[in-house]
Amino acid sequence: MNIYISVFAMALTTYLIRMLPLTLFQKKIKNWFLRSFLTYVPCACLTAMTFPSILYSTNSLISGLIGFLVAIIISLCGKSLVMVAACSCAAVFLTEQILCFF
């Protein structure tokens, strides 16, 4: 099968999933349950995507755990997105360098 047909099918499916809810529901939803539900979707979704996958995103569980903890601590300090991400990366890098000695 031609790869471009496959790619087009994938792209179209993904686009429709994103586009239909965004264009079909333009009015404010009145139902209190649905509104509350949608308010909680971002945090619920981001959390589920992050943990525990973050622990397995690096070469070892230890560096993943340290990257995770560093990200939490830095965000609790009120730092920006970039700062948190950078510190987390640096922590993983350093941990893995240290782990090399063992």
Peptide bond into 52 cis (omega under 30): yes
By CB under 8 A, how many residues form the interface with other proteins? 76
Q: Is 98 in the site for other proteins (CB under 8 A)?
A: no
Return the residues of window 26-45 that contact other proteins according to CB under 8 A: 26-29, 32-45
Looking at the Cβ atoms of 21 and 101, the one nearer to other proteins is 21
- Reference 52, options 70, 43, 40, 64; nearest CA is 64
Contact present, 67 and 54 (Cβ < 8 Å): yes
Least gap, CB of 102 to other proteins (angstroms)? 15
- Reference 73, options 56, 59, 90; nearest CA is 90
Return the residues of window 63-92 that contact other proteins according to CB under 8 A: 64, 67-68, 71-72, 74-76, 78-90, 92
* Paired tokens of 2: 């031609």
Least gap, CB of 101 to other proteins (angstroms)? 14
